[in-house]
Amino acid sequence: MRRLVGFVIAMVLLASCANSTTPGPGDTGQPTFAPGATIGPSTAPAISAEPSSVAEDDSGPTIKPLAVKAPPKGCVPTDQDRYVYNPARLQVVTACLQVTGTVAAIRMEADGDLHILIRLDSAFAHLLRPANQGEELGDLVVEPVCVRSISQADAVATCAADGDPIAALPASVGAHIWLQGRYVFDLQHGGWAELHPLYRWGAYGTAPPVGPTPRPTPRPTAGSGALTVRITSLTSPISRGAFATIAVHTRAGASCTIVVEYKSGPSQAAGLGPKTASSSGGVSWTWKVGSRTTVGSWPVTVTCRAGGSAASARATLVVR
């Protein structure tokens, strides 16, 4: 009897062990996955190489530079690099780069620079970045520095030290030109591409200089030399109902007047009153072209007076 009881207990124990070690249906001893799941390398999104780092001065993230061709021999920097205010906001890609394109627009900025928008020729379109779309109309931003009166406080001291800003400026919208300047990304504006500062330019088809540009003769101090008036920019052509701006350079402290002569006679628009040139010799006017102004080409004359002398300059405003 004892042998029978022992045999029964042994069989019960064997059955219990078999149930604890034998896999159940579908039990492989491996982790399970939802239908459609795959086992393999991680599929987490790759991390973009842009931006590559963040500037310590909070000017913005730096950007992976583009590959650019070596500039021509004559493409060398000038002293205008020194007169870019808050230079940390610009990521320098190439010390000097030459491009060709068409002047699409000219804007005056409070920091004394011009924003010249250049519709690049196709050979240079790869230099643009996504941020050049939108406000910059898909164009390259080109900035000659310290060329007009300054109202932006943090740029005043920098431009005051610039004794020889670029003298001749691209002032004709639609002109096909070549330009040389420092190729940078503006980190405070999404990294759009610029030539900043502009070093030199010329009409398309003319030969750029070979070798460094001779240092310009410093501008005469206030009250010395012959009085001159030079128009540095004009919004033209322009549509009726839009605002036009003209900027000139003359002797500091000179008293200046402007006459915009339409078919109906001199414009009486607000903003065309007499003005006094700033300490840097800059003066500008902004006025609205009337919605009924006759389409055509109209003379704009600026006359400045100082020390018993007078001088004038004239440009053509094209109304479309």
Tens-digit pLDDT profile for residues 121-158? 999 999 998 888 877 788 999 999 988 888 888 888 88
Question: Does residue 116 sit in the same domain as residue 246?
Answer: no
Task: Say whether both 175 and 286 belong to one domain.
Answer: no
In the chain, how many domains are there? 2
Q: Specify if 115 maps to a domain.
A: yes
φ/ψ (deg, to 5) at 129: -120, 165
Same domain, 140 and 241: no
How long is the chain?
Answer: 320
Q: Which residue type does 144 have?
A: P
Reported as a pLDDT band with limits 50, 70 and 90, residue 105 is confident
Asked whether residue 44 is assigned to any structural domain, the reply reads no
User: What 8-state DSSP symbol labels residue 281?
Assistant: S
Q: How confident is the model at residue 73 (pLDDT cuts 50, 70, 90)?
A: low
Residue 160 lies inside a defined structural domain of this protein: yes
Query: Domain range holding 297?
Result: 230-319
144 and 250 within one domain: no
Quote the pTM value: 0.48
pLDDT value of residue 148 = 83
Choose between 29 and 160: higher pLDDT: 160
Residue 7 resides in a domain: no
Is 298 among the domain residues?
A: yes
H or E segment to which residue 21 belongs = helix 2-21
Tokens 């124990």 sit on residue? 13
Report if residue 211 sits inside a domain. Answer: no
- Tracing tokens 């230099």 back to the chain, one arrives at 127
CATH of the domain at 256: 2.60.40.1930
Which region among 90-99, 117-126, 131-140, 237-246 has the lowest average model confidence (pLDDT)?
A: 131-140
Return the percentage of the chain with pLDDT > 70, whole number: 71
One domain for residues 186 and 243: no
Nearest to 76, CA basis, from 182, 220, 166, 164: 182
Report the alpha-carbon distance of residue 293 to residue 267 in Å, rounded.
10
| 88 within 8 A of 62, measured Cβ to Cβ | no
Three-class secondary structure of residue 5 per DSSP: helix
Return the half-sphere exposure (C-beta side, CA atoms, 13 A cut-off) of residue 239.
2
Contact call for residues 303 and 261 (beta carbons, < 8 A): no
State whether 151 and 72 are in the same domain: yes
pLDDT tens per residue, range 13-62: 555 554 544 444 444 433 333 333 332 333 333 323 333 443 444 445 55
In a domain, residue 50? The reply is no
pLDDT of residue 42: 31
Same domain, 159 and 71: yes
Residue 313 within a domain? yes
User: How far apart are alpha carbons 208 and 167 in whole angstroms?
Assistant: 16
Same domain, 171 and 285: no
Residues 67 and 179 in one domain: yes
